[in-house]
Amino acid sequence: MVLDNSINGTFLHRREFMEYHGDRFEDASLVIYNEDFPVAILPAEKEENSIFSHRGLTYAGWILIDGLGLKDIQGIIKHTKAFYQNQGIERLEIRMVPDFFAKESQKDLKLAVQICGGESVFTAVHHCTSLPYRVTDRGKKWGRKKAIEKGLEIRASSDLKSFWEKILVPNLEKQHGVKPAHSLQEIQYLKSVFPDHIRFFAVFSGDEMLGGALIFSTDTSAHLQYTAALPLGKKQRCLDYLLSHLIEEEFSDKSFFNMGVSHIPETGQTNCGLVKWKESFGGKSKSVNTLKLQISKK
């Protein structure tokens, strides 16, 4: 009920999404009521004497129903802190929902968190393109033209297995020495549960998949969760073609196309090459804070 009428909730906050990796986290989520009426939820997990909202999700914090005022939200945060204090919790860390995923303003929520003692402990920088948008970068326009001249085709696809095993995983291992955040089995499960929200597009030369992009689609935004290409696909500029298509056509009815964070997770340093690539598709930097609230010991 809260999520369907919220100002800032997305499908990531549904229990069906959270539970795909439930074995990795000790759940500590809350539903906050005003008398008998639910007004907020807090997707959360616990480690020792700290609560996190939520390290298994890209963003969370207090998901609020529409129509709450500043004092209402302050009350929600104070009651949250009091509840966790009774559980022996000393620290609450919140990864705020980025504004481009929110359906309404989060101004009062941010102010309420600040009034209640919230302090920024980390600022992530996303690169996000405001839609509608026409790609103007000369290199990307040339690349798209080259891909079309090569006869490449973009199709919605259900073949996540080929993309994961032949393209995405080898790319991430070779370039960064990491694995995708989701296993193939996990993303197949999530796509089966949320077929309208998790969408996969691939670029083909005949029957050969050269590259692809997995999109998490919300009410306001299309979020680029994964994208990668084979060496031949890169040579034929398949991702220039694909990203231009997604931005200009497939998701032109959204308000934003988000290309995610632009820092190196291990160091927190900005990946300048990645920033330049995102900017070539119209991406502008948007800051998203992770906040800490101390909870006094009883």
pLDDT 10s digits, 192-205? 999 999 999 999 99
Contact 158, 195 (CB under 8 A): no
Q: Where in the chain is the domain with CATH 3.40.630.30?
A: 3-124+288-294, 132-254
Question: Which of the four pLDDT bands, split at 50, 70 and 90, describes residue 266?
Answer: low
Tell me the CATH architecture of domain 3-124+288-294: 3-Layer(aba) Sandwich (3.40)
As given in the structure block, the two tokens for residue 10 are 């997305």
- Is cis: bond before 54, omega within 30 of 0? yes
CATH of 132-254, one of 3.40.50.360, 3.40.50.300, 3.40.630.30, 1.10.10.10: 3.40.630.30
- The predicted pLDDT at position 298 comes to 59
Percent with pLDDT over 70 in the chain: 97
pTM: 0.93
For residues 235-253, one letter each, b for 16 or more C-beta atoms within 10 angstroms of the residue's C-beta and e for the rest, the string is ebbbbbbbbbbbbbebbee
C-alpha 279/C-alpha 285 separation (Å) is 9
Residue spans of alpha helices (H) in the chain: 15-18, 70-86, 107-115, 138-149, 160-162, 169-176, 184-193, 231-235, 238-245, 272-279
SS3 8: coil
pLDDT tens for residues 234-248?
Answer: 999 999 999 999 999
- The predicted pLDDT at position 23 comes to 74
Long-range contacts of the stretch 115-120 (C-beta < 8 A, 24+): 115/74, 116/74, 116/77, 116/78, 116/81, 116/293, 117/293, 117/294, 118/94, 118/291, 118/292, 118/293, 119/291, 119/292, 119/293, 120/289, 120/290, 120/291, 120/292
pLDDT tens for residues 7-66?
Answer: 999 999 999 998 877 677 899 999 999 999 999 999 999 999 999 998 888 899 999 999
pLDDT tens for residues 89-123?
Answer: 999 999 999 999 999 999 999 999 999 999 999 98
What is the β-pairing status of strands 221-229 and 256-261?
A: parallel
- Is cis: bond before 132, omega within 30 of 0? yes
As given in the structure block, the two tokens for residue 236 are 């034929």
Query: Following CA atoms 8, 183, 188, 196 in sequence, which dihedral angle do they give, to the nearest 10 degrees?
Result: 20
SS3 273: helix
> Which residues, including other chains, have CB under 8 Å from residue 1's CB and lie 6 or more apart?
38
Residue spans of alpha helices (H) in 199-237: 231-235
